[in-house]
Amino acid sequence: MRQFKSMAYPYIVWIAAMIVVPMLMILMYAFTVKGNDVTTFRFAFENFGRFFSDAIFVEVLKRSLFIAVVTTIICIILGYPAAYIIAQVQGKKKMILVLLITLPMWINMLVRTYAWMGILQDDGILSTILSFFGIEVKMLHTSFAVILGMVYNFIPFMILQIHTSLTKMDKSLIEAASDLGADRLQCFLRVTLPLSLPGVISGITLVFLPAVSSFFIPKLLGGGQFVLIGNVIESQFLTSGNWNFGSAISLIMAVIIMISMYITKKVDKGEHMEGGRFN
């Protein structure tokens, strides 16, 4: 037992250095402001007051939440049928389909986003195809491009989570429902969908959290004209050099993320309880 505990020490050190210490620094900077002397700081809530009193920052936060919700909904709509189809096939076909879903994830997300810039630009492949049919539309540096980039990058997380739930599902329940006279639609709505909801909720968590805090996807596909909260945090740290205000915004986003995780956990727990009563 002591040997296993000693194996956890490097992980504990890594957690402390990479997570605990940075979070403590964010807390320190968020609740302090620079004094008259450059080297002195004083405790204050001015950073939070500045954020919520400025309509521009509040609007950016609302836009970020809206984009994240839209991205998550689209990932559910597109990801559930894909996961369902993959779960129905067997053998090598399933392995190939799962490989096709995970293959883009082998490439760095930044590189994949740059690729979409080439596809969506005015003289790109997609615009060339649409212009052949007489359709002229600007796609790059728009909200459509940002949402498209987020869906493309995050939808594998949704598909894999739902696929895992569907694969682990007890197929005898569907057979029992069919024996009791349920058709395919009823089997799906009354058996398959409820039992796969834990995977859907896990997928929502894995999609919503990175989408709401993403900064390089809107920066590249939005062209700097479509600012989200992640871009504001980046600019405060790297451009303005205002670490105190940037830390305050980061802490606000951390609270929002923790609240969303708590809600999804409660919903997931409720679904497990309903599943137990169903069984």
Contact (Cβ atoms closer than 8 angstroms) between residue 257 and residue 230 = no
18 domain residue, yes or no:
no
27 domain residue, yes or no:
no
**Backbone phi and psi for residue 20, each to the nearest 5 degrees, phi listed first:** -65, -50
Distance CA 79, CA 158 (A): 6
At residue 271 the predicted structure's pLDDT band, cuts being 50, 70 and 90, is low
pLDDT in tens, 34-86: 766 656 678 888 889 999 998 999 999 999 999 999 999 999 999 999 999 99
pLDDT in tens, 193-241: 888 998 999 999 999 989 998 888 998 998 877 788 988 998 899 888 8
How confident is the model at residue 177, as a pLDDT? 85
Instruction: Report the chain's C-alpha Rg in angstroms.
Output: 23
Q: Supply the range of the domain harboring residue 155.
A: 56-278
Contact (Cβ atoms closer than 8 angstroms) between residue 38 and residue 173 = no
Q: Is pLDDT at 277 greater than 50 in this prediction?
A: no
255 domain residue, yes or no:
yes
241 domain residue, yes or no:
yes
pLDDT in tens, 108-123: 888 999 999 989 888 8
261 domain residue, yes or no:
yes
Q: What is the pTM of this model?
A: 0.85
Here the CATH number for the domain that contains residue 232 is: 1.10.3720.10
Q: Is pLDDT at 275 greater than 80 in this prediction?
A: no
8 domain residue, yes or no:
no
Q: How many domains does the chain have?
A: 1
11 domain residue, yes or no:
no
232 domain residue, yes or no:
yes
